[in-house]
Amino acid sequence: MTDRSTRIPSGRVTDDGHYLVITQTEGYEHNGVVLLDLRRADAKVQPLFAAWDALYTFIGAHGDELFFQTTHEAPLGRVIAVDAREPQAPARTVVPEGTTALEEASYVGGRVITKYVEDAHDVARVYERDGRPVGSVKLPGLGGIEGFYGKGTQSETFFSYTDFLTPRKIYRFDVAANQASLWREPQIPSLSPQFVTEQVFFNSKDGTRVPMYITHRRDLAKDGNQPVLLYGYGGFDISLTPAYRPSVQAWLEMGGTYAETNLRGGGEYGEAWHKAGTLTQKQHVFDDFIAAAEYLIGEHYTRPAKLGIHGRSNGGLLVGAVLTQRPDLFGAALPAVGVLDMLRYQTANANARQWSSDYGLSEDPEQFKALYAYSPVQNVKKGVCYPPTLITTADHDDRVVPWHSYKFAASLQAAQICPNPILIRVETRAGHGAGKPVWMQVDDYADQWAFLARWLGMSTPAG
């Protein structure tokens, strides 16, 4: 376990206390798993998955049979079972690879519950231990779900459902009956009478079909004058499924339209979709986002002067990259806590180097060329009119260190040729965002949304 200092270990004990499953990670594309029999004082760690050829996630055990979610020989994901008494014996397929991406699986109540992403929304299906399908979990709509955790002996579990207009609701799920019932919901007036979410698809630069959700007032006039905020992420196999956010509700109530696009680099269509937006293919992510903006303009939802863009962390990189590539396309930009110097990001801390599975490293000649071609700090050009930009960061951010934002702000300010402001907001009492108190989040978004309102020419907030 100490042979590679760059590998990060984590452990989980089976519910019966018989085995310790130890997972080692390095990057985001593959991992290794070893096993320790806790019933034997003289037991030694045994390799379970040692080839580092895929991702393996332990989800539970039934006696000596251990269940794993994996991408081994299944880019879209499957569930397998292995015998802890014979770790090197061939694995048994419980849930085979399907046609959509398996995002998560759990073992509860003697059954395997799987969560899939289908065209950027979640669905859940239930299977017996022998792989027989039980059925799908009935959901209220096209949204995002989380949960289905628990022990193999439990008869119930819980999950949440949300979409752009529905605050997160909690459902109780009877595993044996395959039936969900509402358990708790927030007491917030429904937004559905005033607003609607539609899903659209557009073609990226290379012809790839990309999905996007657009949430707007039901009486929206497509006259090109609507203030639109376009959000994206596109990285690390993370799927953007519909979710309610108070900040988005505030934006809608201000009179804006909100668009969220599912870029390559994410996990919406499995590992092939993820890899198509990584390493030397990272430009695909930016091409997808630019194509999303062009779709919104071409379909008369908005026009460049009324189009704002927003992204955080890896999404901050996204905004920084498209801002430098197509400054003519946007009316305002909000890159938040972004990774913006791609030639030196890995030097910041040990955590940052883990991102190289998606980004690559500037030490590699071929990857250097790709990184240099889109790195926001290195691609700011003198004599260009950049759109109004508010960069946000925090001086205690130890995940994406703030010098990324400092350098990007300084570069843009030095190069800017027109009166459009280039501002930076530095929070002195917070980090990357996790654990940020509500009042501080309100202050942060209030400043960003006020900036958008000013530079997108928004009128008095709609009632």
Cα Rg of the chain (Å, integer): 23
Q: Which of 121, 216, 404, 432 is catalytic?
A: 432
CB 285 within 8 A of CB 292: no
Listed in sequence order, the residues at least 6 apart from 26 whose beta carbon sits closer than 8 Å to its beta carbon are 4, 6, 7, 8, 354
**Other CB atoms within 10 A of residue 220 CB:** 14
Phi first, then psi: what are they for 454, rounded to 5°?
A: -65, -45
**Other CB atoms within 10 A of residue 240 CB:** 23
Exposure on the CB side of residue 206, measured as CA atoms within 13 A: 11
Rounded to the nearest 10°, the torsion over CA 176, 180, 182, 188 is 140
Nearest CA to 18 among 37, 35, 44? Answer: 37
**Other CB atoms within 10 A of residue 9 CB:** 12
**CB-based contacts of 446-451 (< 8 A; 24+ apart in sequence):** 447/390, 447/392, 448/310, 448/334, 448/336, 448/390, 448/392, 449/247, 449/250, 449/251, 449/254, 451/332, 451/334, 451/388, 451/390, 451/423
Q: Which of 313, 362, 405, 411 is catalytic?
A: 313
Question: In angstroms, rounded to a whole number, what is the distance separating the alpha carbons of residues 237 and 269?
Answer: 9
CA distances (Å), 277 to each of 26, 255, 264, 281, in order?
19, 33, 5, 5
Buried/exposed code over 123-142 (b: 16+ C-beta within 10 A; e: otherwise): bbbbbebeeeeeeebebeeb
Nearest CA to 408 among 424, 384, 425? Answer: 424
Question: Residue 313 catalytic?
Answer: yes
Catalytic annotation, residues: 313, 432
